[in-house]
Amino acid sequence: MRPLLFLALVTAAHAARLPDFTAALEHAKAEHTPVAVYFHGSDWNKPGEKLLAVWNDPRFESGLDPAMPLVAIDRKEAPSPADEELAKRNAACDPPLRSLPAVALFDSDGRLVASLAGTPEIEKAGGLPRALAGMLAVLKDRDLAWERARKSSGLQRANLLGSGLDRMNLGLGPKNVYQTVLEEMKKADPKDQSGYLAKYTFSSRALLDMVIKRAEAGEQAEAEKELATLARQPRLDKKQLQELHAARFALYQRWPDKKNQSRRALEDMRRADPKSDLGRAANRYADQLER
């Protein structure tokens, strides 16, 4: 193969690198592709600059959809006026990141699909190329489930919509960007036979508020029934179960006739996921009650 022809083929395989998220999203909507974003802080985050070299390396784009836009967002501690103007073009790209460097994938509607924050998370995923490949796999699986859902109805449709949300593991996403998916599930399965409505409307704060109000009204038995009904939902994850048991603990602490069941609620919380923060906290508190 002639060198110039080879170079042309390699160049054609490269993803589109764009200067800001606004331009990238416009491109993504036109091309029906996701957007990959790398976050770093050039004037304070040295690990991020090392990974930026990987992100900017042409080899990083190998195997990516050439239409998919890539954007690097520099979150400086001391931005210049030009940086502040650029930040306005990136304002819509604000996923909840715990640390930098970070990488995130958005669908063509600008909704977060997946993210990894901090060098340890990115390294655990196998580095930037593998991390992005994993995110693209999540998006592919989600879209396959939702495409099948569009051709289904009733319980099957709700299950497929819910499995797509499960694949992302974001709840309803930042600012509830996937609320419309929840509404579709409600229409398809109003009695929540799938259990996905219970999972994606679960609120530990709402449970605790319910327990407190019921206890103040002397309606502890009614609160216990509500919690028991929710506990039978098949889709709750480990953390949700732990938060439910925490609400049970709060209830029994406010119920003199059943205060002796407080420890059992803690044990159930620990049993759901003993290695989690909530599981360890339940274990410590159970020991304090014992003493």
In a domain, 130, yes or no: yes
pLDDT score of 8? 33
Answer for the pair 278, 268: CB distance below 8 angstroms, yes or no: no
User: Do 114 and 221 sit in the same domain of this protein?
Assistant: no
User: Do 241 and 279 sit in the same domain of this protein?
Assistant: yes
User: Do 179 and 223 sit in the same domain of this protein?
Assistant: no
pLDDT tens by residue, 40-68? 999 999 999 999 999 999 999 888 999 99
User: Do 161 and 74 sit in the same domain of this protein?
Assistant: no
Find the mean pLDDT for residues 277-283.
88
In a domain, 226, yes or no: yes
Band (pLDDT 50/70/90 cuts) for residue 184 is very high
DSSP 156-221: HHHHHHHHHHHHHT-TT-GGGTTHHHHHHHHHH-TT-SSSHHHHHT--HHHHHHHHHHHHHTT-HH
As given in the structure block, the two tokens for residue 195 are 């259990």
In a domain, 213, yes or no: yes
As given in the structure block, the two tokens for residue 282 are 């339940």
User: Do 49 and 158 sit in the same domain of this protein?
Assistant: no
Q: Which of 193, 222, 257 is the last residue of a domain?
A: 193
Q: Is the pLDDT of residue 90 over 80?
A: yes
Band (pLDDT 50/70/90 cuts) for residue 92 is very high
User: Do 60 and 173 sit in the same domain of this protein?
Assistant: no
In a domain, 94, yes or no: yes
Domain that holds residue 181: 152-193
pTM of the full structure? 0.87
CATH number at residue 25: 3.40.30.10
In a domain, 145, yes or no: no
pLDDT score of 291? 65
**Candidate from 32-36, 146-150, 283-287 with smallest mean pLDDT:** 283-287
Find the mean pLDDT for residues 7-24.
70
User: Do 10 and 106 sit in the same domain of this protein?
Assistant: yes
**Candidate from 8-22, 51-65, 68-82, 166-180 with smallest mean pLDDT:** 8-22
In a domain, 142, yes or no: no
Alpha helices in the chain (DSSP H): 3-12, 21-31, 46-56, 81-89, 119-124, 128-150, 154-168, 179-188, 196-200, 204-216, 220-231, 238-253, 262-272, 277-290
Distance separating alpha carbons of residues 28 and 15, to the nearest angstrom: 11
pLDDT score of 14? 60
Share of the chain above pLDDT 70, in %: 95
